[in-house]
């Protein structure tokens, strides 16, 4: 099976004033298509940095980053934004939902960057909300949802464009244990059933 993510000698450093801090040091990593991978380590060890490189939210200081068969480390900012819209769905710890928008409108946001018709966007949104079991909460705003429901909306938003890769940064970190287990189970189920 082909690697969906391939990193070769990846280095990432940040400059803080006069000091340079190297977070990733010649990292090599392959993640096979269909894998379900968890990154674990202490705070400050570079987990989010690595996820941001894989998701095209940040660029490496050195080395090669290939995702979905494309060298993303050599893409310009505009090319990277288009690539990200086609290939990556993001789920974050704090949901990042717009409070004034309903669940369905929050899920629709990534589709507004596509050429899909309003009718097709609506259909995709309904499908994504159904996948996460929230069809009945489509009209509710984030403040009218539980933490688990809000995270399910965030997952639906990540899935709505049918991404190649789902990148989750502490998707259960703001949830109680039972709800965290439920969200993790949903992500595992999506991986098994949707690839």
80-95: per-residue pLDDT in tens?
888 888 889 888 877 7
Q: Model-level pTM?
A: 0.83
Rounded distance between C-alpha atoms, residue 35 and residue 108, angstroms? 27
Structure letter (DSSP) for residue 163: -
- Determine the straight-line distance between the first and last CA of the chain, rounded to whole angstroms: 13
Q: Are residues 12 and 57 in the same domain?
A: yes
Residue 48 maps to a domain? yes
Q: Which domain holds residue 135?
A: 88-195
3-state SS assignment for residue 173: coil
Range of weakest confidence among 45-54, 66-75, 174-183: 174-183
Same domain, 185 and 142: yes
Tell me whether residue 57 is in a domain: yes
User: Based on the domain organization, do 103 and 63 belong to the same domain?
Assistant: no
> DSSP string spanning 95-113?
----TTS-HHHHHHGGGGG
Looking at the structure, tell me whether residues 52 and 92 fall in a common domain: no
d(CA 1, CA 15): 38
* Close Cβ partners of 41 (under 8 Å, ≥ 6 residues apart): 47
Give the CA distances from residue 41 to residues 35, 50, 76, 142, in Å, rounded to whole numbers and listed in that order. Answer: 19, 12, 31, 31
Rounded to 5°, the CA angle 60-63-67 comes to 75
**Does pLDDT of 135 surpass 90?**
yes
Element spanning 93, H or E: none
pLDDT at 192: 85
Number of folded domains that form the chain: 2
pLDDT digit string (tens) for 99-109?
Answer: 999 999 999 99
Q: Give yes or no: residues 10 and 103 share one domain.
A: no
């Amino acid at each position: 099976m082909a690697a969906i993510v391939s990193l070769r000698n990846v280095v990432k450093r940040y400059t803080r004033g006069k000091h340079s801090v190297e977070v990733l040091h010649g990292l090599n990593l392959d993640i096979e298509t269909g894998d379900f991978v968890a990154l674990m380590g202490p705070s400050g060890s570079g987990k989010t940095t690595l996820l941001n490189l894989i998701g095209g939210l940040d660029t490496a200081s050195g080395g090669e980053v290939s995702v979905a068969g494309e060298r993303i480390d050599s893409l310009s900012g505009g090319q990277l934004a288009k690539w990200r819209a086609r290939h990556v769905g993001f789920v974050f710890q704090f949901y990042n939902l717009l409070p004034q928008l309903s669940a369905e409108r929050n899920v629709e946001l990534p589709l507004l960057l596509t050429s899909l018709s309003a009718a097709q966007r609506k259909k995709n949104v309904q499908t994504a909300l159904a996948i996460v079991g929230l069809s009945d909460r489509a009209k509710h705003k984030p403040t009218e949802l539980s933490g688990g429901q809000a995270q399910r909306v965030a997952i639906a938003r990540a899935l709505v464009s049918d991404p190649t890769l789902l990148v989750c940064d502490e998707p259960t970190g703001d949830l109680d244990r039972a709800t965290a287990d439920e969200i993790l189970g949903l992500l595992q189920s999506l991986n098994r059933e949707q690839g």
